[in-house]
Amino acid sequence: MSQSELLKPALYDEQGTAAAPGHPALNGGQCVCGHVFFPMQTYGCEVCGRRGEALQPVHLSGRGKLVASATVHIHAARTPALNTDVKPHAAPFTIGSIVLEDGPTVRTLLVGVDEKTLKPGQAMVTTLVAVGTGAKPILDLRFTAAS
Amino acid sequence: MAKTLKDLRSVYVVGVGWHRYQPLSDTPYVMLGLPAIRSALADAGISWTDVESSYVGTGLLGMAAGRAMLKHLGATGRPLVHIENASASGSAAFRHACIEIASGIADVSLVVGIDKPGVVQRAFTKTGIGNLADDAIVPFTHFALLTNEYAHRHGVTPQDVALVAVKNLRNGALNPHAHRQQERTLDEILGGKPVAGTLTALQCCPVGEGAAAVIVASEEAMMRLGVDPARAVRVTAAAAASERAGSQATADAAITKDTIADALNQAQLAPKAVDVLELHDAFTIEELHYVEAMGICKPGEAIHLLKEGAFDIGGQCAVSPSGGLIAMGHPIGPTGVGQIGEITLQLRGDAGRRQHKGAKIGLAHMVGLGAVCYVHVLQRP
């Protein structure tokens, strides 16, 4: 894995948290007011407006519960592709809305799931999948059902 | 303490007009807007030279669309402003025109919503803050997720949700200004092109081109210009809000709840007093969310009322008699202005085959990307 490159390293980390070591962590943040958010930013807290050092990076565990899912049947590929090293999304694919155990809700693609058996409330975890078009191994974050 | 619209000078809608909402054509936007404005002026029985200011709601045309159009009515030198507020651009333009009349700064204002489909990059992609997969999650997928969540929570089926489109397409079939003017069966809607989740193409609003215009005026102006007071409809509340921290996926319903409550409070009305409701039903699930957020019924109960015909024209409360965004269409800038036009026709008793009998109180609701929300209450004096 060490030879591979993350597509969005600002957003997630190959390493998991102590709570969920086997699943990539999400790079979130926490304000001194207590608000936990994703992704990390220092522009200002959405709850209280504090900025700068009041906002500290925290690794959010790659575990959460499914809120909702939907399989996308129509998807207009962006032309020209922004990054030709990466495979474009091709319908059908399934999007999940996941409330992380650390608080924030995130939405992204699901992999390795049968949409018919997905149920709100079920446990989900992060995983990395290969999305490169060529020899260069590029990994991006997805969620899948926890085994 | 800050004042509401009702504490200020009375504001009336005195003229309404449209250019039909339709698929993208070669017609320049100017020739969509001018017929709508001329119709609204004729409807009010006033001249362009009587209009003291203009509010142009547009999201997709690009910078400074207004003067290039309005000058063909005679360049009067009066102020004009453009308002972009995503899907709520037209509603925002209407609110600010009402505020100008109510404050006494102008006596007669034009509100025109105008757009043609075009590619405008959404600013949230330029914030410098990344996202996991927003390029794969377009609005119909957002609402497919909300449909999935609602269906599980309340035990409703995809067939149930699609009934919203059956009703709104039936209403749109009676509206000469609607983008979609064809009634459809439940089977036709469910059997259509799958889009995302259980949403099919006819459960998603068409985004085309068009224009809608309304004239707002003070009582003094109506008397001075000889506007028939029997055809004027009073604006008794104008409320607006933006998303609060933490509401996330349910932001649209959460701000709808707060903004409708604010507007009804301003007008001192209960939710069930509303006879005619024009909602932001860009996707079928939204109508269920918003009638529940409004307080017409409890969460999960909207589908039962829909099935009983409570939201039909002639029912307890006519919901989107124009056809709503699903049938009337959603050309962006015009949408919120057209809602005001439809409610005006309904309260005057001029809605023809779409008339909800005895309509006295109407409410127009829009949400826009961001999220923002606008609600106006109109009443027959």
Three-state DSSP at A58 gives strand
Sheet holding B276-278, edge to edge: B80-83, B53-57, B108-115, B209-218, B11-22, B233-242, B372-379, B361-368, B276-278, B318-319
Q: Indicate yes or no: CB of A72 within 8 angstroms of CB of B136.
A: yes
| pLDDT value of position B217 | 98
Q: Indicate yes or no: CB of A46 within 8 angstroms of CB of B245.
A: yes
Contacts of B138 in chain A (CB under 8 A): 75
Q: Which of B336, B333, B290 is nearest to B84 (CA)?
A: B333
Q: Tell me the pairing of strands B108-115 and B53-57.
A: parallel
Q: Name the residue among A8, A41, A93 with its Cβ closest to that of B136.
A: A93
Alpha-carbon distance B134 to nearest alpha carbon in chain A (angstroms): 8
Instruction: List the single residue in A with minimal CA-CA distance to B149.
Output: A68
Task: Please write the tens of the pLDDT for every residue from A106-123.
Answer: 999 999 998 888 999 999
Instruction: List the single residue in A with minimal CA-CA distance to B152.
Output: A120
CA atoms within 13 A on the CB side of B257: 15
Instruction: List the single residue in B with minimal CA-CA distance to A105.
Output: B248
Is residue A20 over pLDDT 60?
Answer: yes
**Alpha carbon B345 to its chain's center:** 14
Q: How many domains does chain A have?
A: 1
Contacts of B207 in chain A (CB under 8 A): none
Instruction: List the single residue in B with minimal CA-CA distance to A69.
Output: B145
- Provide the number of CB pairs (under 8 Å) joining chain A to chain B: 89
Q: Indicate yes or no: CB of B147 within 8 angstroms of CB of A74.
A: no
Q: Which two tokens stand for residue A68?
A: 């909702």
Q: Are B113 and B211 in contact (CB under 8 A)?
A: yes
| pLDDT value of position B199 | 97
Three-state DSSP at A115 gives helix
Is residue A2 over pLDDT 60?
Answer: no
Domain boundaries, chain B: 5-118+206-379
Q: Counting beta carbons within 10 angstroms of the beta carbon of residue B30, is it exposed (0 to 12), middle (13 to 18) or buried (19 or more)?
A: middle
Q: Name the residue among B149, B196, B248 with its Cβ closest to that of A72.
A: B196
Q: Name the residue among B141, B152, B248 with its Cβ closest to that of A95.
A: B141
Give the residue ranges of chain B where pLDDT is below 70.
247-249
Task: Please write the tens of the pLDDT for every residue from B68-83.
Answer: 999 999 999 999 999 9
**SS3 of chain B:** CCCCHHHCCCEEEEEEEEEEEECCCCCCCHHHHHHHHHHHHHHHCCCHHHCCEEEEECCCCCCCHHHHHHHHHCCCCCCEEEECECECHHHHHHHHHHHHHHHCCCCEEEEEEEECCCCCCCHHHHCCCCCCCHHHCCHHHHHHHHHHHHHHHHCCCHHHHHHHHHHHHHHHCCCCCCCCCCCCCHHHHHCCCEEECCEEHHHECCCCEEEEEEEEEEHHHHHHHCCCHHHCEEEEEEEEEECCCCCHHHHHHHHHHHHHHHHHHHHCCCHHHCCEEECCCCEHHHHHHHHHHHCCCCCCCHHHHHHHCCCCCCCCCEECCCCHHHHCCCCCHHHHHHHHHHHHHHHHCCCHHHCCCCCCEEEEEEEECCCEEEEEEEECC
Q: Indicate yes or no: CB of B249 within 8 angstroms of CB of A67.
A: yes
| pLDDT value of position A1 | 46
Q: Which residues of B105-142 are buried (b: 16+ CB within 10 A; e: fewer)?
A: ebbbbbbbbbbbeeeeeeeeeeeeeebbbeebbbebbb
Q: Indicate yes or no: CB of B148 within 8 angstroms of CB of A11.
A: no
Q: Indicate yes or no: CB of B149 within 8 angstroms of CB of A68.
A: yes
Contacts of B197 in chain A (CB under 8 A): 69-71
Q: Indicate yes or no: CB of B132 within 8 angstroms of CB of A89.
A: no
Q: Name the residue among B152, B246, B249 with its Cβ closest to that of A120.
A: B152
Alpha-carbon distance A147 to nearest alpha carbon in chain B (angstroms): 22
Alpha-carbon distance B128 to nearest alpha carbon in chain A (angstroms): 9
Rg of chain A, C-alpha, whole Å: 16
Task: Please write the tens of the pLDDT for every residue from B300-347.
Answer: 999 999 999 999 999 999 999 999 999 999 999 999 999 999 999 999
Which of A35, A65, A97, A141 to mutate to probe the B interface, most B CBs <10 Å? A97
Q: Which of B319, B359, B366, B347 is nearest to B168 (CA)?
A: B319
What are the phi and psi torsion angles at B143 (to 5°)? -75, -25
User: Cis omega (within 30 of 0) on the bond before A80?
Assistant: yes
Q: Tell me the pairing of strands B361-368 and B276-278.
A: parallel
CATH topology of domain B5-118+206-379: Peroxisomal Thiolase; Chain A, domain 1 (3.40.47)
Contacts of A7 in chain B (CB under 8 A): none
Query: Beta-carbon neighbour count of residue B223 at 10 Å?
Result: 11
CA distance A27 to A25: 6
Q: Which amino acid is at A56?
A: Q
For residue A92, what are the domain limits?
A: 5-145
Residues in chain B whose beta carbon is closer than 8 A to a beta carbon of chain A? 129-133, 135-138, 140-141, 144-149, 152-153, 193-197, 199, 245-246, 248-249
Angle ∠(B210,B211,B213) on CA atoms, nearest 5: 165
CA distance A49 to B267: 33
Q: What is this structure's pTM?
A: 0.96
Q: Indicate yes or no: CB of B136 within 8 angstroms of CB of A43.
A: no
| pLDDT value of position A136 | 81
Task: Please write the tens of the pLDDT for every residue from B220-244.
Answer: 999 999 999 999 999 999 999 999 8
Residues in chain A whose beta carbon is closer than 8 A to a beta carbon of chain B? 8, 10-11, 35, 39, 41, 43, 46-47, 67-75, 78, 89, 93, 95, 97, 104-109, 119-120, 141
Task: Please write the tens of the pLDDT for every residue from A34-86.
Answer: 999 999 999 999 999 999 999 999 999 999 999 999 999 999 876 556 677 88
Three-state DSSP at A116 gives helix
Instruction: List the single residue in B with minimal CA-CA distance to A82.
Output: B135
- End-to-end, the C-alpha distance of chain B in Å comes to 27
| pLDDT value of position A78 | 67
